Structure 1
Amino acid sequence: MAKDAALPARGFSDDEFRARTALAQERMRAAGIDALLLTTEPEVRYFTGFLTRFWESPTRPWFLVVPARGDPVAVIPSIGAALMRQSRLSDIRCWRSPDYADDGVSLLAAALAERVPASGTIGVPDGAETHLRMPLSSWAALKDRLPDRRFAGDAGILRQLRMVKSPAEIARIAAACAVAGRAFARVREIARPGVPLSEVFRRFQMLCLDEGADWVPYLAGGAAPGGYGDVISPATDRPLARGDVLMLDTGLVLDGYFCDFDRNFSIGAPAPEVAQAHDRLLDATRAAFDAARPGATAAELFHVMDRICTGGAGGSDAGRLGHGLGMQLTEPPSLIPADATELRPGMVLTLEPGISLSSGRILVHEEDIVIRDGGADWLSPPATALEVLT
């Protein structure tokens, strides 16, 4: 790791999780929700700090019950008990999973019955960018066991809470951005004419790890003459050549939080159209940064960038020009014309304008920012020019 790398202390204080729980419970009581039932990794981790790569396995379900009063209850496979005991939770109920006959359903039903009165409401996140991480058969069995409780949406509580980050969360994201910034500063070590794009991808992930990333679950990009065709395809073995534009877009993780920004590199001197397009992308990003103030909306940031990139034509097939960022690579809001979410201090966003070139190829640029009381701050070290690699 670089000698000057300064990584924050791991994890969060119990007070951080108490504050998150208290905010959720205040909103639950206002919405008439007696308990939240949470089943996905970021939802469970948000209230407990339960950080593990074991979620990569789809075999076992994991549950967290957040009552309108009192501490959350974890209902989890016994393989996770030792780690969950490191959290502030004291009520941790376990079973041996997988259990084909009853994979935690009876334990979960009992916990909900204790915390939710008859005719009470159990809220489950149900909006965009949510999902229910349990088998459909288990979901049906759970509802059958609790016929006198009502299952409903969570009134957007998780979405609203998670969009606004605490100072401790922002510090984690800033540290992740710093790691990626140091890795991008070393791209010259791994990318030059003749090096296959697939090797650049592998070695860039190694640079991220060397600079302090815990893991690199997301790396996308491309390289082709005068731009690239898309930003999601796997790397090929085609060697870099003069005239190519190389783009690397990384979502590395540090202490459970993502960064998400990219950098473009010209292999040899860029064509005039490429250089001009990249300058417009930087202009669009800076304009959105200046407009990113409390009270502005996600839609307004879209239009600020779109006017510079397309003259107000409505964006590209990418669908949006940025998004929220945090425990997941992409979070609400989406920077699209239809998203009227008002920006609030503590929101972390990506700004991601794109431009189509006459060749049919594209260029995309992305930075990470945080909304403060007086405007925005950069979290990623902002690019100032198209770097040329020889």
Structure 2
Amino acid sequence: MRVNHDRLQRRMSEFGLDALVSTTAENLTYLTGVSSVHLDMFPHTGRAFAVLSQDTRAGALFVCGRCEVDQFLDADERIVEAIAYGPFHRELPQRLALDHEDSLLRGVSDDRRFDNALSALTHAVKQACPGGGRVAVDEDGVPADFLDELGKWLSGWHLVPGAGHLRHVRQVKTERETELVAAAARVAENAIRATVAVMGEGVTERELVREFNRSVAAQGGTPRFTLIRIGANAVAGQRQPTTTALRLGQAVWFDVGAVVDGYWCDIARVATLGDPAPRLARLYDAVLAGEQAALDQARPGMTGQELFALTVDAVRDAGIPHYQRNHVGHGIGVEVYDPVLIRPDSTDALQTGTVVNIETPYYEFGFGCVHVEDPFVVGPDGNRLLTTLPRELFVIR
């Protein structure tokens, strides 16, 4: 089970919430397992929702356009009702016998009560908490005028912001979520291995990026950012890959992310073609020491700023005394930046089950970047790394 129902129900009880509405693709995936085609294609104007009552285990009401309502059949959390809106047609030839799933789809497709997202969502909220109540609506996925209009349609209900509640719940991962993060990480690890395997003199950044993306896609994932730069180019890591060709003795920086089954991975490594320059090796050892300190010392109850401080101090003590960062990691799950953020002003506390993506990059003009990044799950008696790829500097001979 993906959803942390105990935590969700406690949160709803604490804040007196009678229903909860998701509006973003990430929260829809979290609550239902559905990766909305519509929200992916039309992230600014698409409308698809999951609506839950206080009894969250009873299942979600899934609201979406009639074109993609077939996706309710892919849900891996319980769907109590699928509600379609808008125009779309699925024809049924005479005398064609439908199987069970097609019969379910026909029933939903043929329900023509709702012309638009507002009317369908209003119906779902009234089903979840009839007679009025306090409804938390995720404000991140819809514009203010949509919320204003929804308030008019639900005049007997009190709408309050819901994004923060969902992010709070998602901070503590279920075992199923931890497995999904680890599975996504394996895809990225395998793709890094595949890319390292084609490293040789003359190979370009574009070719390395193409190989990484090919491997991710071949494993069923979707590349989301593929930052692979050669040598000093890594100081400008967010730029597009170039035709810069790899030479013996140079480093290749990887900071790569992908989504697999709705969950993110975000991993960083450095590989060198031939023996690394001594300074490169020393700097890499220092950032690796910082990551290791975080893995060893992170504990439930520790704040993001406390973990930030000990990680930065470890990098400085290990050989980069001037090391400075805006953050050294973040939670990860259905969003690449889930709670908590590991930065100097973060007072949010780690909890048992929080998955932290810890990272210690160091950028320098004329040099490039050394960087290592991995996810780990915080445990009551120690932490568990969710990657198996060696974290030492890759040396290709």
| Interval of TM-score (by shorter of Structure 1 and Structure 2) | 0.7 to 0.9
Instruction: Say if 1:97 and 1:251 are closer, same or farther in 2 by CA, change over 3 A.
Output: farther
Residue 279 of structure 2 is aligned to residue 266 of structure 1: no
Which AA in structure 1 matches 2:223?
V
Mapped contact 2:66–2:87 kept (Cα < 8 A) = yes
Any unmatched runs of 5+ in structure 2?
89-113
User: For residue 171 of structure 1, what is the aligned residue in structure 2?
Assistant: 179
Task: Give me the whole-angstrom Cα distance separating, in 1, the residues matched to 2:38 and 2:149.
Answer: 25
What are the Cα deviations for residues 271-295 of structure 1, in whole angstroms up to 9, with x where unaligned? 2221110010111111111012222
- Percent identity, aligned pairs only, is 25
1:121 aligned partner: 134
Root-mean-square deviation (CA, aligned residues, Å) is 2.6
After TM superposition, the structure 1 = structure 2 runs for residues 73-92 of structure 1, keeping only pairs within 5 Å, are 73-87=61-75, 88-92=78-82
Given the superposition, is the C-alpha separation of residues 174 and 135 from structure 1 closer, same or farther in structure 2, using an over 3 Å criterion?
same
Matched, 1:315 2:324: yes
1:118-140 CA-partner distances (Å, limit 9, x unpaired): 663221235xxxx2x23544333
Does residue 1:147 correspond to 2:155, yes or no? yes
Q: Are 2:40 and 1:32 equivalent residues in the alignment?
A: no
Select the residue among 119, 124, 145 that pairs with 1:111.
124
Taking structure 1 as reference, are residues 105 and 353 closer, same or farther at Cα in structure 2, changes over 3 Å only? Answer: same
Does structure 1 residue 62 correspond to structure 2 residue 48?
Answer: yes
Q: Supply the distance in 2 between the matched residues of 1:322 and 1:353 (Cα, whole angstroms).
A: 8
Matched, 1:278 2:284: yes
Q: Secondary structure at the match of 1:75?
A: strand
CA deviation vs aligned residue, 1:48-104 (integer Å, no higher than 9, x gap) = 111354432115310221122454222211122222144321321111259xx9631
Could you tell me which amino acid in structure 1 is paired with residue 271 of structure 2? F
Secondary structure, in 3 states, of the residue corresponding to 2:275? coil
Unaligned runs of 5+ in 1: 1-15
Conservation of the 8 A alpha-carbon contact between 1:264 and 1:386: yes
Question: Conserved in 2, the CA contact under 8 Å of 1:95 and 1:104?
Answer: yes
Q: Match for 1:68: what amino acid?
A: Q
Indicate how the Cα distance of structure 1 residues 279 and 25 shifts in structure 2: closer, same or farther if over 3 A, else same.
same
Question: Which one-letter code corresponds to 2:206 in the other structure?
Answer: S
Letter in structure 1 aligned against 2:359: E
- Figure out how many residues of one structure are paired with residues of the other and give that number: 363
Change (3 A) 1:295 1:314: farther
Q: What is the match of residue 354 of structure 1? A: 361
**What are the residue-to-residue correspondences of 1:13-32 with 2, within 5 Å?**
16=1, 20-21=4-5, 23-32=7-16
TM-score normalized with structure 1 length: 0.84
CA gap of 1:334–1:230, structure 2 versus 1, over 3 A, is farther
Residue 378 of structure 2 aligns to a residue whose secondary structure is: strand
Distance 1:307 1:337 in 2: 12
Query: SS of the counterpart of 1:64?
Result: strand
SS in structure 1 of the partner of residue 384 of structure 2: strand
| Paired residue type of 1:108 | L
Deviates more, 1:165-174 or 1:139-148: 139-148
| Offset at residue 195 of structure 1 (A) | 0.9
Tell me the CA shift for residue 340 of structure 1.
1.9
- Pairing 1:256–2:262 present: yes
Counterpart contact for 2:22–2:51, Cα < 8 Å: yes
Instruction: Evaluate the alpha carbon distance shift between residue 219 and residue 341 of structure 1 in structure 2; reply closer, same or farther with a 3 A threshold.
Output: same
Which structure shows the higher helix fraction? 2
User: Does structure 2 conserve the Cα–Cα contact (< 8 Å) formed by 1:370 and 1:379?
Assistant: yes
